[in-house]
Structure formats: C-alpha cells, structure tokens
Amino acid sequence: MTAASPAPAPGRIRVGSAPDSWGVWFPDDPQQVPWQRFLDEVAEAGYEWIELGPYGYLPTDPARLAEEVGRRKLKVSAGTVFTALHRGPGVWDATWEHVSQVAALTQAMGARHLVVIPSFWRDDKTAELIEPPRLTAEQWRDLSTGMERLGREVRERFGLDIVVHPHADTHIDGEENVARFLDATDPDLVGLCLDTGHYAYCGGDSVKLIETYGERIGYLHLKQVDPEILADVVKNEVPFGPAVQRGVMCEPPHGVPALEPVLAAARKLDVDLFAIVEQDMYPCPPDKPFPIAQRTRRFLRSCGA
C-alpha cells in the first residue's frame, strides 16, 4: 500500500491595479488624472503590480518608465493592445505596428503578458454603431486565425503570452462567444484574460468559466457590476460607455460576481495568476479613485488575495 500523493499547493494570486481604476481610458485626456498621480496613489494604496494602461498614458521610454515605477516599488504585470483581427489579413500590418510598440515596452518592463482586447462594435466615446455586433462565419475564422498568428509572433519576437480579454460591446463577450472563440483557437498560443465584471455584464458565470476552461485562464481582471444598474442597462440596450457613466461597474464587494468564489476557483487551477483590479469609471472626479483603491485592497486581503 503506497502513501497518497500530497495535494498540489494552491496557485499564487498576485494582486495589482491599473490606470482603468483611476478613470483612465485614453493615452491623453483632460478628464483623466496625470500619470504621476496614478503611480503615486496606486503605490500608496498598497498595490505592488500595475498594468501599462493605454499606450502613451505612462511614459513610453523604457528607461524613464523603469525609473518611475521602480522608485515607487511598483512592477508591471502586462501591457494592453486593441485589435480588429476579424477584419481579415488586410489589417495585420497596422495591427502589428501597434502591438509591437506595446509588446516592446512590456518586455522591457519585465512583464510576461499582453492583454488583447477585441475592437468595439460601438465607438467608445460616442457609442455610435461602427459595425454589426455579430460576426459572420468568415469573420470568426479571420478572428481565430489572426489571434493564433498574433500569439505566435508575440511569443517568438518578445517572449510574451497573449491573453484575450472578453469585453462588453465587442464580438468576444458572453458565454456563447467566449466558448466559440476558445474552441476555435490553439490553447498553446491563445490564453484568456477573464474580466469578472465584463463577463457578468454579458451574462456569464466566472466560476463556471474557470471550472470549464481552466487551462485557458492565463490572467484575471477583478471587477464587479451593480446588478440593479445592469438590469436597466440590459433592458434599455444602453451602450457600455454610458453604462459606465451610470455606475454599472461598482466598488467591491457591493456588486456581482462575488469575488471570494472566483479567487477560490482560480487557486484550484494550481497556477500562478495575476489578478488586476479594475473599476471602469471614465470620466470620474480626480479625488474619487484613491479611497476606493484603498478599500478594495483591504477587501481583497480579507479574501486571502
């Protein structure tokens, strides 16, 4: 009779925050806090890890950015890119020009992940419809093959892993489209950034997704939605930008999904994961984000994160 093997150690969750939690959606916007204030406050709130946010918001010179984050004892977990690969091979060159800029800075900061957000089918400022919200079969093929190519190129040239971020008002949003996308792409090339708030916004169950596609989860965004506001948003088909202005993304633990079971399910995967706090608040008063960040960090510590 042999002794039972010890249970695997639970995965480690590294918690961080991002410019998004300070109301930052764009590289340069007078309604956003200056990048120096973001860095000062995210460090003072108790976070060690940050994302780069929209390319150009933080300094893009690697030496300067390394000095700025280093003296605040911060580290970078990922960069973020926006893509429209469903539009076919004709957009590849422009996509790669953008991706390679962000990937180079991400690599220089010692990070290993590139968060890939599909393009919106609504304008993110005006909410104007840009293109149909549903893809054709051909567009799905272009999206999946394009993402696989992106994952391969980013890994070979920069040593980074891509994690695709399902997002409201994009073609990769709720359970049906996320499953379709994951089933159509190579797990070795394309991971998933599960944003708990966006997935709930689109009707998905984060714990179920982790339990079903756990091997694809490479990164987490921790976020909650206000269920009452969300119900009105869904009923009246409110675009995402105006929904954010109504407060649909709310401060934990006052919304859904509950983050404790999400973190518990993620730990069972037995992999190390970044869990980056985001609370979409564009635009917001400059003094609003910091106290929320402090309270959220305390709450996540109470969850063992």
Least trusted range by pLDDT, from 1-5, 31-35, 246-250, 281-285: 1-5
| Mean predicted confidence (pLDDT) in 64-81 | 98
Give pLDDT tens digits for 48-71.
999 999 999 999 999 999 999 999
Least trusted range by pLDDT, from 192-196, 219-223, 266-270: 266-270
Strands annotated E in 66-122: 75-83, 113-118
pTM of the entire structure? 0.94
pLDDT reading at 8 higher than 90: no
Separation between Cα atoms, residue 167 and residue 106, nearest integer Å:
22
Which has more confidence, 34 or 7? Answer: 34
The band of 124, judged by pLDDT with boundaries at 50, 70 and 90, is low
Q: How many residues does the chain have?
A: 305
Q: b/e map of 228-262 (b: 16 or more CB within 10 Å)? A: ebbeebeeeebbbbebbeebbbbbbbebbbbbeeb
pLDDT reading at 85 higher than 60: yes
pLDDT reading at 95 higher than 80: yes
pLDDT reading at 270 higher than 50: yes
pLDDT value for 10: 54
pLDDT reading at 125 higher than 90: no
Average pLDDT, the chain: 95
> Coil, helix or strand for 42?
helix
| Mean predicted confidence (pLDDT) in 261-276 | 95
pLDDT value for 28: 96
Give how far Cα 122 sits from Cα of 70, 131, 163, Å: 37, 7, 22
The band of 83, judged by pLDDT with boundaries at 50, 70 and 90, is very high
Report the share of the chain in percent with pLDDT over 90.
92
